[in-house]
Chains A and B, each alone.
Chain A
């Protein structure tokens, strides 16, 4: 028989750290509320029959955002055998607010007070024994980070799971208790005896979301209204206030705080990074550095070595020349008299294509280290706060920025992170715009264009990032002015975690996991794509007979590419190779590089390092290359991200709207970039294209500047509670 133990607690209280320690999994631990948006299961180390569930963090059992709904539904509907409630010891009072509610669920519970090391360091003290007596529930001290006390906590939870809930539940004031028992008496029979109190309290609070079947708060209106009149407050506030009063009294004797008034280190850092003048420049500098360092400096040395050494001619190690993979494999294949076509497939197709992608892994790893550090130190939440002021003007809340920052690693978790956004409208808009921010897989595309066409100019990579942000902002304004999205963004309220130095292992683990998933992708999807591209480009009908073609432009792929290339001609890159690369990019964005690798024969021309990219460069100008980059960054994301959009939208129509909007937007922007840019550089003369581009720009300006559509019910609620 399996035992289910759920980890529940406030956001950022250390649930995932504990989950990793208990189950030996490798979930990433970030430092902002809402890292975990989906529940995760794992088996307790050494106990195969025990399933531990890591729930998204919640502040109360009245969910405010989507991921909180996930947690509440699990606790109420699937009823774990025991709850291990993680309480952040540095924030005892607020955390106990949830604890009192969890106790009402009637599920056996054990409390683990986390971050006791920090509590002790601050000179504060918590009398665990006394607190446990008052709460009537076993309490243990743990430090999830240092893995102390966690075995005991798991053991206690296991023991609790075998018992019927023994935790006592605190009492509200007499009037409220009378009302609650009156409601309990009228509850339908089918409700479990243990859960009756929970439902009674929720009904008393008029919680609309809890109501199932024929239960409705309206049926109890007489009871509720009577108490509200007696206590001169609304039922919800009565419960909330009584809870806090109860907690306040409970911790009076068992919690001592040492220092007061002194600014903590986090407060001091916040004074600087959220300063009204410095906040934005600091953020811009941070992002510039991240992209500059990972694409242009450290990352580029490593990538050069990988591209020109490992996947090229060879490299020098302590004076000895180590031949590159293509050379070794080529020699080997020649020595065994391998068939020409197979040599071509392996060298030009597989090594040329997959190698071109793998060559960028070092750059990605550097980027991932930076992102993991930013996520784990606590700066992310501040960026949301800083960006709120700007995003609000464009109809988005600062919360939309977190999915975008995560999206700079990979759009899929980025799109999933949109669940922390309360308003459905804001969430949809965030889902549509998140993939504008270049993800890790787009990095090779950026690096390739920056290296091959712009001589590694330092502005290209950061410009791609800022282009993404501008695309988000412009889309925000345009979409907000349509009927679908009109209305003010929901006020921004978000807990800011304390800053802390991320552990090296957490950062490296995150880097490795993301990096490894790219390497795995290169070995599967990218490999298959490379084989597909090689075959379809090398075979075709010549003079009416099927066979291998001398010139790639006679192959199947060229025929297909040529059939669609006209679509991209107005963007400045209407040849079949670039068209095919863009389409293959839908499978995975690295495929753009992969396709170029196969079609331009990177493996073959790798005689001299600088020549590798020359053939590619010859088919572009700087303006058309930038237009190509813009289109590939902004257009519909890869299939995996489209899948994530579909899941989060949960609606086919919205999914198509998102993809359609992204692609049309990308086309319009690249069109303007090329048509206007090329006239400026003298590549094109002023003509019909320029006129259309100017009209498109005017169209954009119209969409941006037109007055707001009036919402049918755009009243600002300033209701005053009774």
Chain B
């Protein structure tokens, strides 16, 4: 399911990341790669704040939809 539906507080494993190459590369440098664990902290109208590798990252809905967990 997309990250937007993952629900707060439950650790999830990323299965796949879509979107443009540049954005994928940027997400990878932030720690978002297939296989890494993420936890949604809060959700605001589809925009999410997630915990990944000890840091907090805000992701807008359009991108969060393309991260499949």
The interface of chain A, by Cβ under 8 A from chain B, is 59-60, 62, 64, 90-94, 97-98, 236-237, 240-241, 244, 266-267, 270-271, 274-276, 279, 381-382, 384-386, 388-389, 392, 397-398, 422, 488, 490-498, 717-721
Contacts and interface: CB of A to CB of B under 8 A. Distances in A.
A241 B26 CA distance: 14
Nearest to A491: B63
A494 B42 contact: no
B33 A385 contact: no
B47 A495 contact: no
B3 to A, nearest CB: 12
A493 B20 contact: no
Nearest to B56: A496
Contact of A496 (B29, B57, B63): B57
A412 to B, nearest CB: 27
Contacts of A240: 25, 28, 33
B25 A64 contact: yes
Interface of B: 16, 18-31, 33-36, 41-47, 49, 51-60, 62-63, 66
A75 to B, nearest CB: 15
A7 B66 CA distance: 34
Given A241-B33, A389-B60, A398-B58, 19 more contacts: A59-B26, A60-B28, A64-B29, A94-B55, A240-B33, A241-B35, A266-B56, A270-B49, A274-B42, A276-B43, A276-B44, A279-B44, A381-B58, A384-B58, A392-B60, A397-B60, A492-B60, A492-B63, A717-B19
A92 B60 contact: no
Contacts of A422: 22, 26
A267 B41 CA distance: 7
Contact of B18 (A64, A496, A720): A720
A90 B53 CA distance: 10
A491 B23 contact: yes
A271 B41 contact: yes
Contacts of B26: 59, 64, 422, 493
Closest 5 CB pairs of A and B: A491-B63, A492-B60, A60-B29, A59-B29, A64-B26
A270 B31 contact: no
A493 B60 CA distance: 7
Contacts of B29: 59-60, 62, 64, 97-98
19 contacts: A59-B30, A60-B28, A64-B25, A64-B26, A90-B54, A91-B53, A94-B30, A94-B53, A94-B54, A241-B33, A382-B58, A398-B60, A492-B47, A492-B59, A493-B60, A493-B63, A495-B56, A495-B58, A498-B56
A304 to B, nearest CB: 42
Given A488-B62, A492-B63, A496-B49, A91 B22 contact: no
B58 A492 contact: yes
Contacts of A93: 31, 53-54
Contacts of A498: 56
Nearest to A272: B42
A431 to B, nearest CB: 21
Contacts of B24: 721
Contact of A270 (B22, B56, B62, B66): B56
Nearest to B58: A385
A62 B44 contact: no
A494 B28 contact: no
B1 to A, nearest CB: 16
Contacts of A237: 28, 33
